[in-house]
Structure 1
Amino acid sequence: MSIFIKVLDKQFDRLHPMLQKRYRFPNNAPFHATGIMKTINGGPKILYPLFSLGTKNKLLFPEQGIDIPFTIINTPIVGPNGEEQIHWERTFYFGKKKRHFNALMSLDSKRNIIKDYLGEPSVVYSDLVFTVSSDGGLKIESRKQRLVLGRIEIPLPKLFQGLATVKEKYNEEKGSFEIAVDVRNPLIGHIFSYKGEFSAHVLE
Structure 2
Amino acid sequence: MIYKEILGEEFNRLHPKLQERYSISLQHPFHGRGTMLSIISGKSWLKSFLKLAVRWKFLFPEEGSNIPFTIRNTAKQLPNGEQEIYWERTFYFQHVTRQFNAFMTIDAKRRIVKDYLGEPNLFYSDLKFIVTQEGSLQIQSGAQRLLLGKWEIPIPKLFEGKVTVMEGYDDINDVYTIQVRIHNPIIGRLMAYEGGFTSEQL
SS in 1 for 2:10: helix
In 2: Cα distance, 1:61 partner to 1:26 partner: 29
Please tell me the residue identity of whatever aligns with 1:68.
I
Q: State the AA in 2 paired with 1:69.
A: P
Look up the SS of the partner of 1:130 in the other structure.
strand
**TM-score (structure 1 length as normaliser):** 0.96
For 1:92 and 1:140, locate their aligned partners in 2 and report how far apart those are by CA, in whole Å: 21
Match of 1:135 in 2: 134
- Matched-pair identity in %: 49
Aligned equivalent of 1:110 = 109
Determine whether 1:83 maps to 2:75. Answer: no
The alpha carbon displacement at 1:36 in A equals: 0.2
Q: Secondary structure at the match of 2:121?
A: coil
Residue 56 of structure 1: aligned partner: 55
Aligned position for 2:23? 24
Q: Matched residue of 1:80: which SS? A: coil
Q: By how many angstroms is 1:26 displaced?
A: 5.5
Residue 170 of structure 1 aligns with which residue?
169
Q: Deviations over 1:36-71 (max 9, x none)?
A: 000000111111101000110000111000000000
Partner amino acid for 1:41? I
SS at match of 1:25: coil
Matches of 1:187 and 1:59 in 2, distance apart?
A: 21
Residue equivalent to 1:194: 193
TM-score (structure 2 length as normaliser): 0.97
In structure 1, what is the Cα distance between the partners aligned to 2:97 and 2:76?
24
Q: 2:146 aligned with 1:147, yes or no?
A: yes
AA at the equivalent of 1:156: I
Question: Residue type of the partner of 2:71?
Answer: I
SS of 2:62's equivalent? coil
Question: Partner amino acid for 2:171?
Answer: E
User: For 1:78 and 1:53, how far apart are their aligned partners in 2?
Assistant: 31
What are the equivalent positions in structure 2 for 1:64-75 lying under 5 Å apart? 64-75=63-74
Q: Structure 1 residue 80: deviation in Å? A: 3.2
Structure 1 counterpart of 2:114, one-letter code: K
Deviates more, 1:42-51 or 1:122-131: 42-51
Q: What CA distance in whole angstroms lies between the structure 1 residues aligned with 2:193 and 2:125?
A: 19
Distance 2:57 2:195 in 1: 20
Whether contact under 8 Å (2:127, 2:140) holds in the other structure is yes
| Structure 2 stretches lacking a partner, 5+ long | none
Shift of 1:116: 0.1
Q: Which amino acid aligns with 1:108?
A: D
**Structure 1 unaligned spans of 5+:** none
Deviation at 1:188, TM superposition (A): 1.0
Structure 1 stretches of 4+ with a deviation exceeding 4 A read none
Query: 2-side partners of 1:120 and 1:26: how far apart?
Result: 21
Q: 2:38 aligned with 1:43, yes or no?
A: no
